[in-house]
Amino acid sequence: MPTFRARRTATSLGTAALAAMLLLTACSSGSSGGSADAADGKVTLTVDLFGTFGFKETGLYDEYTKTHPNITVKQSDTQDEGQYWQALQTKLAGGGGLADVQGLEVGRIASVMQKQADKFVDLKTVGAGAVNDGLVPWKAAAVKSADGKVLAAGTDIGPEAICYRTDLFKAAGLPTDRTELAAKWSSWEGYLALGKEYVAKAQPGTATDGNKWTDSAAGMFTAEVGQQKVRYADESGKPVYDSNPAVKSAWSDSAKLVADGLSAKLPQWTPEWNKAFSTGKFATLSCPAWMIGYIKGQAGDAFAGKWDIAAGPGKTGNWGGSYLAIPKTSKHQREAAELISWLTAKEQQVKLFTKQGSFPSSTAAQGEIKALQDPYFNNAPIGQIFSESAGAMPAQVLGTEDGVIGKAFTDALGEVERTGTAPDAAWQHAMDNIKKASGN
């Protein structure tokens, strides 16, 4: 990930020098971080995340603590990022209950930088100022303040594709070859057309009985909007969510998905959605790279080889991606900085993509994974597919209310799906909720 290639430290200091520095920091009065939990130097670092970052699942914490025996890492996580964000806002406002390391989703980062920068540690002050060197430029730029502070370490990005069930495609008489499918759904119009064909060919008493084309309109909308440079705010920061033709087109396509009976109407991140990965409620899924690990976890070993991956409509897009930040309330800022520098280094980014599907934001790591295939997904060339998607993606303009606006749109599409609300009425509900939540 970063161009400094330290595997274990956030600086270019040698091991002995770093140990001496940490000891001095811990013993200095008025230190802003690096204090020990006990006289023996043992430190417990708390990490609070959302979704599945993969650090615990791929054994990175265990690997780190083997070379840092004085460190214990305790992670807490919340699957739903919206719930996580609300809890984080409460903690930041009250000043209590924050972890040493907090995860931040890319859709929230502009809000943090403009409204809550004073709540997080400048990584340059704790020996990790170079942590984002070597990332794709927009990833690093998003967390660098106008006065040069570095407020978070970049983890993954979310290049998009389509994940699909080969067994269900076969049962419906559709092709399963990923190259052929990528050509058929090279546009969202093509994706919807093939979905209508799939649903029409679904047969009672077969694996396709009652099955739908995709999980939800929200998933499709998020993926389509994620292909745009300008989404909810323009380069000046002016809100354009209500007038941007790209947003309106994504809304129209998603409403058509529902009208044509192609959506399984499953709210993402719910128990019902999770269960559907193994019960066959949908045949395709808008699939950012990090979804690979999620599918494996929910569908399990029994579905290995039944899933595949193809380039999606437009062959590009970015959905998600995250950062790691250190709240100023942390008592172990230097140890936390060393941990996040190691977790986001090139070597660990390669491991996370290989084992979990988290696509690297490090350009050097991207160069190492281009030939990677995934046996679970029929040996799909995931390195190539997601690298090409990432390479074609323009640097997105991030607005302060992106997270709020995106949720308002996907909630409104949920109304269309599950309560039969007319798309025009649901759009107006989204407008009202955005204005109420953001004031814009």
DSSP for 153-175? EEEEEEEEEEEEEHHHHHHTT--
Residue 49 parent element (H or E): strand 43-50
With a cut of 70, say whether residue 181 has pLDDT above it. Answer: yes
pLDDT at res. 37: 60
- The SS3 call for residue 401 is coil
**Would you say 382 and 373 are in contact if contact means Cβ atoms under 8 Å apart?**
yes
pLDDT digits (tens, 9 = 90+) for 294-327: 999 999 999 999 999 999 999 999 999 999 999 9
**Would you say 325 and 152 are in contact if contact means Cβ atoms under 8 Å apart?**
yes
DSSP 366: H
Q: What contacts 257, CB < 8 A, 6 or more positions away?
A: 192, 195, 213, 214, 217, 220, 263
The residue ranking higher by pLDDT, 218 or 80, is 218
pLDDT digits (tens, 9 = 90+) for 233-283: 999 999 999 999 999 999 999 999 999 999 999 999 999 999 999 888 999
pLDDT at res. 95: 78
With a cut of 70, say whether residue 399 has pLDDT above it. Answer: yes
Dihedral over Cα of 51, 351, 349, 286: its sign: negative
Q: Report residue 386's pLDDT band, with 50, 70 and 90 as the boundaries.
A: very high
With a cut of 80, say whether residue 17 has pLDDT above it. Answer: no
Residue type at position 60: L
- The SS3 call for residue 151 is coil
Percent of residues, the chain, with pLDDT higher than 70: 91
With a cut of 70, say whether residue 27 has pLDDT above it. Answer: no
Instruction: Find the mean pLDDT for residues 153-167.
Output: 97
pLDDT digits (tens, 9 = 90+) for 83-100: 999 999 999 999 789 999
Q: What contacts 209, CB < 8 A, 6 or more positions away?
A: 202, 203
Helices then strands, each counted (H, E), the chain: 18, 9
With a cut of 80, say whether residue 168 has pLDDT above it. Answer: yes
Place of tokens 């594709």: 161
**Would you say 224 and 254 are in contact if contact means Cβ atoms under 8 Å apart?**
yes
Distance CA 341, CA 123 (A): 10
Q: Report residue 192's pLDDT band, with 50, 70 and 90 as the boundaries.
A: very high
Neighbour count for residue 198 (Cβ, 10 Å): 24
pTM assigned to the model: 0.87
pLDDT digits (tens, 9 = 90+) for 316-369: 999 999 999 999 999 999 999 999 999 999 999 999 999 999 999 999 999 999
Output the average pLDDT for the chain. 91
Across 43-52, 126-135, 198-207, least confident range = 198-207
Distance CA 179, CA 388 (A): 14
